[in-house]
Amino acid sequence: MATKAEKEHYGKVANLGCSLCRYLGYGESPSHLHHIRRAGKRSNAPVIPLCPEHHTGNKGVHGMGRKAFEREYGVTEEELLEYTLQLI
Ligand SMILES: [Zn+2]
Ligand SMILES: [Zn+2]
């Protein structure tokens, strides 16, 4: 279960808009939360905001797979996470 603090954090992250669109200079796009997979529990996974296209679309991290996604855009999930957290 997410704690109140986690929910607030997730809300702030989602409100930033897609981190990849922002990174690419497309401006703000409404976003989903994407959990970054790391070793350990999924419930503790950090989240980044991604728009539907960059999340589950053909050009998204789930559509292409993480490796292809990172190659395509020249940025890693971890870099997008850092970039996101700087904005909060
Ligand atoms: Zn996007
Ligand atoms: Zn996801």
Q: Could you read off the pLDDT tens digit of each residue along the chain, which spans 88 residues?
A: 678 998 999 999 999 999 999 999 999 899 999 999 887 666 678 999 999 999 999 999 999 999 999 999 999 999 999 999 999 9
CA of 67 to the centre of ligand 1 (A): 17
* Residue-by-residue DSSP string for 25-44: T------EEEEPP-SS-GGG
d(C-alpha 42, C-alpha 51), whole Å? 21
CA of 36 to the centre of ligand 1 (A): 16
Rounded to a whole number, what is the distance in angstroms from the first to the last CA of the chain? 23
Q: Write phi, then psi, for 66 (nearest 5 degrees).
A: -60, -45
CA of 54 to the centre of ligand 2 (A): 9
Q: Which ligand is nearest to the CA of 54?
A: 1
CA of 68 to the centre of ligand 1 (A): 16
CA of 3 to the centre of ligand 2 (A): 20
CA of 41 to the centre of ligand 1 (A): 26
